Amino acid sequence: MPRIAYVNGRYTSAAEACVHIEDRGYQFGDGVYEVCLVVDGAYWDEEGHLARLDRSLKALSIARPMSERALKTVMAALVRKNRLKTALVYIQVTRGVASRNHPFPEKKVAPSLVMTARAFNLEKSEQQAAAGVDVITAPDIRWGRVDIKTINLLPNVLAKQEAQKAGAAEAWLVKGDTVTEGASSNAWIVTRDGELVTHPLSNEILGGITRQAVIECAEALQMRIVERAFTTEEAVNAAEAFLTSATGLVMPVVRIDGKPIGEGKPGPVSRRLRNAYIDRWAVR
């Protein structure tokens, strides 16, 4: 069955889907996006993702393409049309189509809305989590407002490519000697004293929706959480490390730059948090 995409009001074959060559997303990266996970028809953290989409649009003064209710309707229809039960739904909104000029268009233009859905293999993710993943470190060369989830991802792409070349799953980005976050995830360590540490919210990181959900899970489990910056040295010497994202959920990290973390295998804290996060939605 051919994949179905949604493009500016129309459901169409993904192979034939297209946008105008002067769409500002294509010309300038002038747009934002979100990725939502659907498991057995249930949308995990949907409200958080849509709220962040709205914040990103407001930060860039891009008009909402439709109401939240309509957006949810399109998302559900897209998953259904692709005959998926467990999927990743990608939502992208750009400022729209206008003659190429750096300032915002003088005349009002309609924002462009594109959505796609593809299968997500939760069983494969579980297998990956059971083994743990490697990460590398890379310089954080992104712009100064990464708290806005824009489609300007070239630095992230370059870091991910270096990770892939090294046989790692992710790159943790570093400013000075401080880890900010992953190229597509938030970074965490568990100290030898049992504290969960992750970078505080600021314009230096994207406030992950899964990150916040995991904080809530940790609080429910009465774990100690400290939102502060941590160094690469702290990370390498930590008892455990893990990353959080919509696609990785809670993913244990077992090596950083080839150096084993803790015992070099997924630790009890990250495993417990992953189970708690999955249970948070599985029981609903």
DSSP letter (8 states) at residue 8? T
Q: Which residues are catalytic?
A: 149
This prediction has a pTM of 0.95
Which of the listed residues 99, 120, 141 is the one where a domain comes to its end? 120
Report the number of distinct structural domains present in the chain. 2
How far apart (Å, rounded) are the C-alpha atoms in residues 32 and 48? 15
Reported for 48-54, long-range contacts at CB under 8 A and 24+ positions apart, including other chains, are 48/209, 48/212, 48/213, 49/209, 49/246, 52/149, 52/207, 52/209, 53/91, 53/93, 53/149
Tokens read off for 86: 């467990």
Q: Does 266 share its domain with 195?
A: yes
Domain containing residue 265: 125-282
The whole-number pLDDT of residue 2 equals 78
Q: Does 41 share its domain with 67?
A: yes
Residues of the chain short of pLDDT 70, as ranges, are 1, 282-284
Q: Does 147 share its domain with 17?
A: no
How far apart (Å, rounded) are the C-alpha atoms in residues 168 and 161? 10
The whole-number pLDDT of residue 19 equals 95
**pLDDT tens, position by position, 196-230:** 999 999 999 999 999 999 999 999 999 999 999 99
How far apart (Å, rounded) are the C-alpha atoms in residues 223 and 113? 40
Q: Does 227 share its domain with 157?
A: yes
Q: Does 130 share its domain with 253?
A: yes
